[in-house]
Structure 1
Amino acid sequence: MSDPLHHAVDLDLEPQEASGLVASGSAELKDRLGMDPLYWTVLDDGPVERCVALIGQAAGTEEPTARWGSTHLVATITTPTGPTDDGEAIALHDGWVYVLGSAYGSKEGPLEAARNFVARFHESDVTVDEEGRPTADLHVSADPFVLHRVVNDALHAAGVDLMAWSPKFLRKTLGKARKQAIGDEQPWSWRLAHDDSPVNIEGAAFTEDGSLLLGLRVPVTRMGQAMVVEVHHPERLFDPATEDPEPGRVVVLDGVGSRAAPVGVRDLHLAGGRLHALLGNLDSDPDDSILLDQHPEGGVAESVHVVGDLPGRLEARAVVQAMDIEVVHRFDGLFRVEGLAADAKGRFLYVSDEDNTVRTRFFTSGSTSVVADG
């Protein structure tokens, strides 16, 4: 179903490529910035230290579309790391804001080490400088292809029947990346196996016990359904003395998506055992896309917000669980809705890339559409 009240606010947020959204959990930060509600977003063009921003509304504002603003986080990386790019997911757990790279590559391939990173900062450590900008130290784990390996181990162990890739697609994405890593004698080359699937991570959320749920835009099931993969002990990413995180279950979102119009995850939000997922196409631009060259149906699906009860965790970790979902909102005619998060009033805010603009959208029930400039 579609909700009748649908507000939209445009924001100037370079580089105009918002890709995820999570509500801030810090009352102190809201107070210092004078914004409530307040959301963190990730921008997918550029290094991680330049791709985190805040979106908020001036505290006490009654008009839904009035006094919205945005500002970049001024981030300082605490330890030397390699290049990072393509931040696609953002999530909050125990005060830590996590930012994840896609683990994917460009439309032409191959998979890129720079897109394989996880970064985090703690909201309690965010300060506001003399110019009113939020600042924080950013801890970056850029050990390449860790989550690629964990996700593929989960898919292999659970025996998921995936959408088939052509030899050409695999050669230009996974194969080329693997060949380059082995040729350069990279110590992480073992994480790229010949029977893997390329992985594109675009959603993230945490369970109450700290496991990380990864929403995959790619791959999807053979029937065109989106998947969520659980990762145990994600905190290990920031301790080089420990082992890698461990693969958990695979949850298939059952009810949206088909072979004719497959859907992947664009963002996740988990609250009270209810998993909200923003779903959409597998690639939004056919130009130079080797994925859409093979699977043109991968660009058909419009954006849709769905929800369902996250199944209880089973004793066996290597398992596929189906999750029945229902549609919350269909974004008719929109293909690039990228992030979702709920505010304290139960309204859902979305971010999208439209006409080279970061646009926020939110809705409740009972009125007509409103569009305003931010």
Structure 2
Amino acid sequence: MHETDLHLDPNEASDLCRVFGPDELVRRGWERAFVTVLDEATAENAIALLAHAAGAPLDEGWTAVRVPADAGIHNGRTEDAEACASRDGYVYLVGSQFGKKRGPLAAKRSWIARVSEASIGRTLDDGTPAELEVVRMRFGLHRAINDALAGIDLLPLGPLGQQVYVDATIATGELKAKRWSGTVRATDHPVNIEAAEFSAEGKLLLGLRYPVTADGHPLVVELENVDELFADPDAVPRCGRVWVLNDVGTREAPAGLRALDTRDGVEFDAIVGDLDASGKSATVLADHPEGALADSEHVRFELTTESGPVGTKTMHHFGGIRRIEGIAVDHEGHAHYVIDEEGHVALRTLVFE
């Protein structure tokens, strides 16, 4: 694999999606371009563009730049971008919907945003901040996902997770009379979204790092009405089908989803791996130490027309490299991975022979 240091700050990157059509790439002298999101930042500060010069070797010619954006009244009111996906000239960003390592769940992490590729292009040309539309859902997506998962046997929420993620969030909502009070319920699981991609039908597929099934398998949840959320301020997130990658992860080493990518909305590439990073006092791992054991892998699968189990094919095993945060497969079939390494963010490219 070829590796390039992206020199991005902050050094926490998540997910990867392709941007710009062939004409725009040629105009800029590029042959491929991706967006990644920088987590632990507000939505308007989370966008970075990775571009590769036409004709350059895969381990050379890369440019990485921050893309400033303006979220209007929502500036400063979001945090923790974790996933991105592109469709019909727009890039969509998704907040984790989760909380910090020690809880509670955070309403600032409950959001979806989108920015047009045209607006990103103008920013690259003249520095004008890109126009970012933000939908703050105040745990509405958390509610919709938990309702969609109601019939699935999930990895039990441990006592610490119940206390710091669920009970503490409910108590905060009641004590401060929050608008979202009652949206999080005592029987809920906290939701950690780290992957997103569109199906051929235009539904936004959300890959969960947590929760996973009781047998340790990752989950993909369909958000049916993402465009409606931007069109109608009163729209409520609505989730539909749920798929289980039933040959990934085990009870002894459960695995969650870290990234999703597709070129046709039918066949998907994914990164799977541990439920949280070890050594960071994560509540998930305090309740489930086995959640730190799963290795990172690149798998490929096709979704069925109905909810249920899905088989996968392993494309690459990363060995001791664990923090694989994003994947995008380019027009030549090369797989690009964004990786958080100690002190820097790297892009690695796997050339399939």
User: Quick check: TM above 0.5?
Assistant: yes
**Corresponding letter in the other structure for 1:67:** G
Identity of aligned residues (%): 37
**Pairing of 1:191-340 with structure 2 (within 5 A):** 191-272=183-264, 273-312=266-305, 314=306, 320-340=307-327
Distance 1:238 1:130, change over 3 A: closer
Q: Separation in 1 of the partners of 2:174 and 2:22?
A: 48
CA contact (8 A) 2:221 2:241 kept: yes
**Corresponding letter in the other structure for 2:326:** G
**Corresponding letter in the other structure for 2:139:** F
Distance 1:230 1:135, change over 3 A: same
Instruction: For residue 259 of structure 1, give the secondary structure of its aligned residue in structure 2.
Output: coil
Show structure 2 runs of 5+ residues with no match.
Answer: none
Which residue, out of 21, 27, 36, partners 1:26?
Answer: 21
Show structure 1 runs of 5+ residues with no match.
Answer: 1-5, 315-319, 367-374
The two structures have a TM-score, normalised by structure 1, of 0.90
Instruction: For residue 238 of structure 1, give the secondary structure of its aligned residue in structure 2.
Output: helix
Which residue, out of 78, 94, 106, partners 2:88?
Answer: 94
Distance 1:70 1:134, change over 3 A: farther
CA contact (8 A) 1:305 1:327 kept: yes
Q: Separation in 1 of the partners of 2:164 and 2:69?
A: 34
Quote the residue 2:336 is aligned against.
349
Q: Deviations over 1:32-75 (max 9, x none)?
A: 543221000001121111110001111222x1211111001111
Instruction: For residue 180 of structure 1, give the secondary structure of its aligned residue in structure 2.
Output: helix
Q: Separation in 2 of the partners of 1:23 and 1:82?
A: 26
Distance 1:8 1:144, change over 3 A: same
RMSD, aligned CA: 1.7
Larger RCO (alpha carbons 8 Å, 6+ apart)? 1
Q: Deviations over 1:184-241 (max 9, x none)?
A: 1112222211111000000001112211100000000000000000111111222344
Instruction: For residue 149 of structure 2, give the secondary structure of its aligned residue in structure 1.
Output: helix
Q: Separation in 1 of the partners of 2:172 and 2:324?
A: 34
**Corresponding letter in the other structure for 2:71:** I
CA contact (8 A) 2:270 2:299 kept: yes
Quote the residue 1:369 is aligned against.
none
Distance 1:133 1:327, change over 3 A: farther
User: Quick check: 1:151 aligned with 2:138?
Assistant: no
User: Quick check: 1:186 aligned with 2:181?
Assistant: no
Give the stretch that moved more between structures: 79-88 or 69-78.
79-88
Which residue, out of 72, 77, 80, partners 1:78?
Answer: 72
**Pairing of 1:56-67 with structure 2 (within 5 A):** 56-61=51-56, 63-67=57-61
**Corresponding letter in the other structure for 1:52:** I
Give the stretch that moved more between structures: 214-223 or 169-178.
169-178
Q: Deviations over 1:323-342 (max 9, x none)?
A: 00110100010110000001
Quote the residue 2:2 is aligned against.
7
Q: Deviations over 1:255-308 (max 9, x none)?
A: 110011110000111233112111010011333212111111111112101011
User: Quick check: 1:175 aligned with 2:170?
Assistant: no
The two structures have a TM-score, normalised by structure 2, of 0.95
Q: Separation in 2 of the partners of 1:154 and 1:223?
A: 18
CA contact (8 A) 1:254 1:323 kept: yes
Q: Deviations over 1:134-157 (max 9, x none)?
A: 84100111131121111111001x
Instruction: For residue 163 of structure 2, give the secondary structure of its aligned residue in structure 1.
Output: helix
Q: Separation in 2 of the partners of 1:130 and 1:260?
A: 47
CA contact (8 A) 1:73 1:135 kept: yes
**Corresponding letter in the other structure for 2:275:** L
